[in-house]
Amino acid sequence: MKIVFAGTPEFAAHAMRAIEQAGHEIVLVLTQPDRRAGRGMQLHASPVKLAALEKQIPLIQPESLKRNASDPHKQLEASQAYALLNQISFDAMVVVAYGLILPQEILDVAQTAGRHGCFNIHASLLPRWRGAAPIQRAIEAGDPTTGVSIMQMNAGLDTGDVVLTGAIPIAVAETSSTLHDKLAVLGATLVVETLARLQEGKELQRTPQPTDGITYAEKILKKEAEIDWALSAVEIDRRIRAFNPFPGSTSSLNGEAFKFWQSAVAESAPVTKTALAGEVLGLSDGSAYIQCGQGVIEVQEMQKPGGKKMSASACLQSATSQENRMQFLKE
């Protein structure tokens, strides 16, 4: 089939490559404009753009798809995108972590006679974790399982009918990085299966989302990454793993902001009745044991300012402070 694909990050690029490898023709790619990033603030193309350029697939990068935007430049780009979608021949549209809202008129173009509509790959089992950060929020909440939903898009925020799902367990040591990769593979598999069913003329079972169990995965903010040691070890561990790789949990030791990348709730740890929340209780076998508001967390991987990721014990042993008592604080 001929597919219009809209997406931006690597999660989307993985699905895009799978669709093409399954024998479908991607006739147009929509992705976000290049963004400045890194120390030099150089412009960087999205993973989806790079994949499209590699395969010489036509692409556009509008800043908005709203033809009634207040900015005349955005209006023009949106109008051009709308006209192009009306001109080209395609069978279905697939959207994966695109980052722009698709207005109803775009959805209507994908739903015109002879077309199958617009399908979204969403990294949760809807209606749980609608919104921007379903992977991170599932780990932060301690969900035992998550998955991918293939959804027939409508104008709401992840509110469309679900046509296919797949579930996977969230491992005890799971980070957003590792879970992202698993869900990217699952999402690619499910969207290819969805397109195969459409191509074979099979009826998709569209299941409206229930009104019970709706939760929203708000966008991750950098300020959330600062560790509050008054929380329990269970809560802090979940947040450290949820915020790996972005934005990376942080805490201050002697005025320096350290990052925390991997952790677990300590099953056994040094016991100190007078320990304060955030106090390092001991170092052992590569780990650092830190007192929390309730319980002790075993931090396994850390990073000091300007340094590389390393075992928590090595990181703290190489820290500038030589004090016998080390206590992390909120910055």
**Reduced 3-state DSSP string for 121-149:** EECCCCCCCEECCHHHHHHHHCCCEEEEE
Domain match, 212 and 246 both: no
The response to whether 85 counts as a known ligand-binding position is no
Distance CA 101, CA 113 (A): 23
The tens digit of pLDDT for each residue in 10-52 reads: 999 999 999 999 999 999 999 999 998 777 778 899 999 999 9
Find the domain containing 42 and state its range: 2-217
Domain match, 58 and 198 both: yes
Say whether 110 sits in a helix, a strand or coil. helix
The response to whether 176 counts as a known ligand-binding position is no
Give yes or no for residue 166 having a pLDDT over 60: yes
CA-based R_g, the chain, Å:
23
Whether residue 203 lies inside any domain: the answer is yes
Give yes or no for residue 274 having a pLDDT over 90: no
The response to whether 33 counts as a known ligand-binding position is no
Domain match, 61 and 201 both: yes
Residue 296 belongs to a domain with what CATH number?
Answer: 3.10.25.10
The answer, yes or no, to whether the previous bond of 305 is cis (omega within 30 of 0) is: no
Token digits for 257? 């902001």
Give yes or no for residue 294 having a pLDDT over 80: yes
Q: Which regions of 9-158 does DSSP assign to beta strands (E)?
A: 25-30, 35-37, 42-44, 59-60, 92-96, 118-122, 130-131, 145-152
The response to whether 157 counts as a known ligand-binding position is no
How confident is the model at residue 320, as a pLDDT?
A: 56
Per DSSP, 225 falls in state: G
Domain match, 170 and 302 both: no
